[in-house]
Amino acid sequence: MNQRDQAKVLIIDDDTTLLLLLRQSLEKAGYTVLTAAHGLAGLQQMYEHRPDLIILDVMMPRMDGWETVSRIREMSQVPVIMLSAKDAEADKIRGFAAGVDDYVTKPFSFAELTARVGAVLHRTRQTVPARPSHLYQVGDVTIDLEERRVTKRGETVSLTPTEYKLMAVLVENAGRVLSREQLLSQVWGDAYLGDTDYIKRYVWYLRQKLEDDPSTPEYVLTDRGFGYSFRKD
């Protein structure tokens, strides 16, 4: 079955014209599309219909995109693509730190956004093949790839779908250095090759959640000039 079959996409945007055009573009691509004109209505749609992905605009009345994504992350790890007219690095970092899976700046082509929807769904739906032993105990961190559960000293570590996918790819190759291009291809998809900032940001996020001292990492290790690896005991 194609990943688009029966995949539900919720678009939250107060621009009615853009909302209509996005809906038509995604439905043409084979997705089921839900829409909401502001954050509160979007949260209600999410709760009632459990979409597979959310496209969220930043600037909206009543509840802006930042507050909306914060509310979403309190309830769900559903993938989120944020739309914004702001392309400054600080705004993108704020978006990724808030837990979004992709950040698309306006203006954009509908073909590009549709491709990014497919790429995000692909990486968040794709399961990581488990080795004969799917349980990894490294230092104080325990990773159960079969149950998709990560704990540190017995406490659950909450990861976004993209953070988990990156960690899982690294863990499946524990002790082996993966290049930035390999990680981009396996985690984000070939459409993202060259966007190495994604790797840097998400490695930083993983370290904030896994490491005692992110500035001197023990688990997610850097091979300068090449890529990253996960510690192997």
pLDDT in tens, 155-165: 999 888 888 88
* 105 and 140 within one domain: no
Q: How many domains, in total, are found in the chain?
A: 2
Q: Are 156 and 149 in contact (CB under 8 A)?
A: yes
pLDDT at residue 3, rounded to an integer: 53
Assess whether pLDDT exceeds 70 at residue 195. yes
Tokens of 55: 């496209």
Listed residues 104, 125, 146: the one ending a domain: 125
**Angle 196-210/89-97 helices, nearest 10 degrees?**
40
Average pLDDT value for the chain: 86
Instruction: Give 130-176 pLDDT, tens digit per residue.
Output: 444 578 888 899 998 878 889 999 899 988 888 888 999 999 888 88
* 113 and 145 within one domain: no
Tokens of 100: 């979004």
pLDDT at residue 24, rounded to an integer: 93
* 143 and 100 within one domain: no
Of 61, 233, 1, 73, which is closest to residue 140 (Cα–Cα)? 233
2 lies in a domain?
no
Is the Cα dihedral 61, 67, 71, 73 positive or negative?
A: positive
| 106 φ, ψ (degrees, to nearest 5) | -85, 145
* 172 and 69 within one domain: no
Q: Are 153 and 204 in contact (CB under 8 A)?
A: no
Listed residues 74, 107, 125: the one ending a domain: 125
Chain-centroid distance of CA 117 in Å reads 11
* 103 and 65 within one domain: yes
pLDDT at residue 17, rounded to an integer: 92
Pairing of β 53-57 and β 80-84? parallel
The CATH number covering residue 172 comes to: 1.10.10.10
Is the backbone peptide bond immediately before 79 cis, with ω within 30 degrees of 0?
Answer: no
Determine how many CB atoms are found less than 10 A away from the CB of residue 109: 9
* 88 and 47 within one domain: yes
Give the residue numbers spanning the domain of 178.
Answer: 135-230
pLDDT at residue 135, rounded to an integer: 83
pLDDT at residue 33, rounded to an integer: 96
Instruction: Give 42-96 pLDDT, tens digit per residue.
Output: 998 998 898 999 999 988 877 888 889 988 887 788 899 999 888 777 878 888 8
* 64 and 29 within one domain: yes
Model confidence, pTM: 0.60
Question: Which residue in this structure is represented by tokens 């993202």?
Answer: 192
Listed residues 125, 147, 163: the one ending a domain: 125
The CATH number covering residue 69 comes to: 3.40.50.2300
Q: Are 205 and 228 in contact (CB under 8 A)?
A: no
* 13 and 116 within one domain: yes
